[in-house]
Structure 1
């Protein structure tokens, strides 16, 4: 049977009460015994001291009358009087005949008194056959012990008195015990009732009902506990209501999202999803299922598995049911779970394809007439003799070259963006490729008074890549560095990491403002339009660089400070055998 707090408190209080009564009884009886004994001892001591001068006087003058005197005086004071000589023989005794008594020299109180000290002993008397308390006082005549005066009383007299007192004390304690038991019961109830109310309210709260409150009439710790409990339940109720409202708002937003969204746990279970995701996977209730059961895509499966093995944020494009999606994988910190969103970019890709086809077609159409124009310009330059005419022809030639470069870059971008485009990959020594490409810029660097520094690692492992495209990447990075650097120098660093090669191209040029750095890889974007036109820039070089890096499954980043220079960092994966 489950014991309540009341029973525990009442039982404990009762045990304490019984223990207290028992201890009080034992202590009281022991105290009464000690008190009566001490009182009797003091009484005998006073009697002995009052009789001592008389006994000494009679002992010195008329010892023969001491026995009669002792018997008479013993009756008057209700105590036994004995006079013992130094040899131990009894000279006088109020309760017995001295001639019939044993030698008392071996009695401890007598031997101590003979030594000159008052003595007290409680022992059984063989003479009167009773437990007796003795007081022995030395009788001193002219500096010598002439005998011992012993006063004694039986313990029976004080036992009767002590028994009477013990009976009274016991009666008082027994009469107080029921009252104390009642008070213990009331006190236990006062303690247990608020606790029971708190326990009952806590059970109701645990079941989800936050309405109960506990009120305690008296103050103290239980009152503070009840107040704190009520405050806590109130705050919890407010928090639950607020959370429920927020959850409802989130569910509304979640359901209204056009993008498909799902939360996938680290073990591959779909934890939650919105309506758009359910439509995407054609499953009304994918929650609780494994993601490969609801979305049968090898690309998605491989991506999730790689992210579970090495948790991180990731984005990639995927196709599903003839639709293109930009899929974002966002890692939830501390859980290993992922929030996956599917953004339908089919229309965007269709427009980009139309734009790319249009640019490709226009570029092809422009390439032939521009080649003819450049050919005829070369003929005209050979025939025209005037400086004014040559200057005009130079302007035409420069703009024709710029148009040809733009068309070539557009065609290259168009080819790389085509899904059918593939790299001609093989093992490439990037350090040798950097040296060969740097030689192309020696004249331009020398002409501007710059310094080109190569910091390369000769023992670096090769990478898998397309050497022609990687050369295009290096040409565009170095070309930008030379164009936008007027003093100082350009540094190309190449170093190896655990699984990547890191290429850095740094210059001490004009730099790029922080708010423009995110746009440098966009088509036709130039940070300084006037300088770009002056240098013949097309605004496509860095866009080509980024596409080449992405085709090689690498990463590119920029770090630039205006008027101090720019550093482009490219990370490319090493060949698998490395």
Structure 2
């Protein structure tokens, strides 16, 4: 059961009051009783000392009858029992009883104390009066000699009656004090708990979305400061929620207006956010809260998501979905371990690209025959003519014809490599021997340009599964570029094994490729220096062919710009093709 702050405070005050009364009442009553008895003891002592003056002459002259008469008279007047006892304990006179029938008092405590200490007190049960009594005894001395003991006593029931009346008075006063204290505690507890209850009720309203809930207090204390802070907080929360609502609506509007399909996956793979375009792409009306593999059943998409989560990076790949091609970009968000994926429809671009490739392939096929014929007739004219001027023009025609034929051959090869049906003829290839044979082709050109070529290979380099003819084209193109664009210095070719791959590095000391061109040098017809490329007979297709062949072998090719020292191409080929 929940205990309110009112119950806790009021209950605490009540407990403190009860404990205080329980401790102080018995102690105070005991102290009052003790003090009262001490006061009566002092009064009885003074009484004895006063009476001793009247009693001493009678006792000295042994006038016992007169002594008894006097004692009884005085007892009635002062309402106090008076007893005179000789040193042997025999009662000589008593104001209440006949002394002749009374017991010997020699062993009474107050008598013994009076004889020993000069005064004796005792609070005990009287065997004579059959009641509890307070006794005070003093010795009767005449000329320094003790003749007897004078004892005065009071009935304890009279003392108890007085104390009981006093106790009742104290109880009444205590009850009044308790009532006043409890009333004060009640008012204090209610005044403290009421504003807190108002704050609690207002907090629940705020939790339910009512930011207009306010608490206004009249008192000036810390709770009012708390209420004012609460009101300020609700105002700030209202403003923040208004801004958040506006931003959420704006974000929802932006996400909905994006033509690309968009979805956000949590760390478990569930779709938390998506737009209308994504729903249309997957053709599913119920998307939110489902696992992505329930909505988009594509192995390639599943592999992409797993790769992004494993590498915690961004990856872009093409996927086929419902007879359409989409460029899928997946990005890992580290703060919530979420993945944001977008699907951009590139079907028209891919169709246009295919049309362009088909056109280039068809044109290349159509150009091959007439170009071969032109080259043949030019060579025939060169053999039959003796005119130097005509030979000059024929050389120009032949050079440009050869360049066009090279472009056509490269285009046809590139088209063949881009075909999905393109296949490789795998053999066990010794890369060290393959490259050594290729280097013989460039011996003359290296000598002509005074270039130094260094070739180094790791020992016990394993054979790899590859197409040797295709790899020849890769290394011929890369080494040809290195020789072509290096005017002085050296070319270094190295082979090494890293894990399950063989890495080939071709580094030259030629012109550096600017950083802004590095990302595009593997594109068709892309050249860094068009005038230089045209002069050297470059087609802009060599590196594109290289990349396609490397990718067909499940390999990887990278290029690094080394400022001041040239360019490095790095090719990594798997030892076992899978």
Aligned equivalent of 1:40: 37
Residue ranges of structure 1 left out of the alignment (5+ in a row) = none
Q: CA deviation at 1:82?
A: 7.3
Match of 1:487 among 461, 486, 489: 489
Distance 2:218 2:318 in 1: 68
Distance 1:87 1:576 in 2: 135
Aligned equivalent of 2:326: 325
Q: CA deviation at 1:78?
A: 6.9
Aligned equivalent of 1:562: 563
Q: Contact (CA 8 Å) 2:262, 2:274: kept in 1 or not?
A: yes
Q: CA deviation at 1:31?
A: 0.7
Aligned equivalent of 2:17: 20
Q: Contact (CA 8 Å) 1:56, 1:141: kept in 2 or not?
A: no
Residue ranges of structure 2 left out of the alignment (5+ in a row) = none
Q: CA deviation at 1:343?
A: 1.7
Distance 2:496 2:138 in 1: 119
- CA deviation map 1:38-79 (0-9, x unaligned): 353256358648977997999999767799599588888876
Stretch deviating more after TM superposition (36-45 or 425-434): 425-434
Aligned equivalent of 2:454: 452
Aligned equivalent of 1:249: 250
Residue 356 in 1 paired to residue 353 in 2? Answer: no
User: What TM-score do the two structures reach when normalised by structure 2?
Assistant: 0.75
Match of 1:9 among 6, 10, 18: 6
- CA deviation map 1:287-306 (0-9, x unaligned): 56666666565655665677
Q: CA deviation at 1:403?
A: 5.1
Aligned equivalent of 2:275: 274
Q: Contact (CA 8 Å) 2:267, 2:337: kept in 1 or not?
A: yes
1:98-497 equivalences under 5 Å are 100-102=102-104, 104-105=106-107, 107=109, 122-133=123-134, 153-263=154-264, 271-283=272-284, 286-287=287-288, 299-300=300-301, 313-333=314-334, 338-364=339-365, 369=371, 373=375, 404-425=405-426, 428=429, 433=434, 448-450=450-452, 452-456=454-458, 458=460, 460=462, 464-484=465-485, 486-487=488-489, 490=492, 492-497=494-499
What SS does the aligned partner of 2:344 have? strand
1:69-108 equivalences under 5 Å are 71=71, 97=99, 100-102=102-104, 104-105=106-107, 107=109
What SS does the aligned partner of 1:248 have? helix
What SS does the aligned partner of 1:212 have? coil
Q: Contact (CA 8 Å) 1:409, 1:541: kept in 2 or not?
A: yes
Aligned equivalent of 1:512: 513
Q: CA deviation at 1:356?
A: 2.7
Distance 1:263 1:80 in 2: 107
Q: Contact (CA 8 Å) 1:44, 1:151: kept in 2 or not?
A: no
Corresponding residue pairs, total: 570
Distance 2:467 2:135 in 1: 126
- CA deviation map 1:319-368 (0-9, x unaligned): 34543322223345466654432222233223323433444445455556
Distance 2:408 2:236 in 1: 69
What SS does the aligned partner of 1:519 have? coil
Distance 1:66 1:413 in 2: 160
What SS does the aligned partner of 2:519 have? helix
Name the Cα RMSD after superposition.
5.3
Q: CA deviation at 1:524?
A: 3.4
Distance 1:342 1:561 in 2: 37
Distance 2:380 2:100 in 1: 171
What SS does the aligned partner of 1:490 have? strand
What SS does the aligned partner of 1:216 have? coil
Aligned equivalent of 1:525: 526
What SS does the aligned partner of 1:419 have? coil
- CA deviation map 1:183-204 (0-9, x unaligned): 4444443344334433433443
Distance 1:258 1:426, change over 3 A: farther
Q: CA deviation at 1:167?
A: 1.9
User: What TM-score do the two structures reach when normalised by structure 1?
Assistant: 0.75
Q: Contact (CA 8 Å) 1:41, 1:135: kept in 2 or not?
A: no
Distance 1:201 1:441, change over 3 A: farther
Q: CA deviation at 1:20?
A: 1.3
Distance 1:282 1:59, change over 3 A: same
Distance 1:134 1:451 in 2: 135
- CA deviation map 1:443-496 (0-9, x unaligned): 666764445253536355x65543333343334344444555543652535332
Q: Contact (CA 8 Å) 1:384, 1:390: kept in 2 or not?
A: yes
Q: CA deviation at 1:505?
A: 4.1
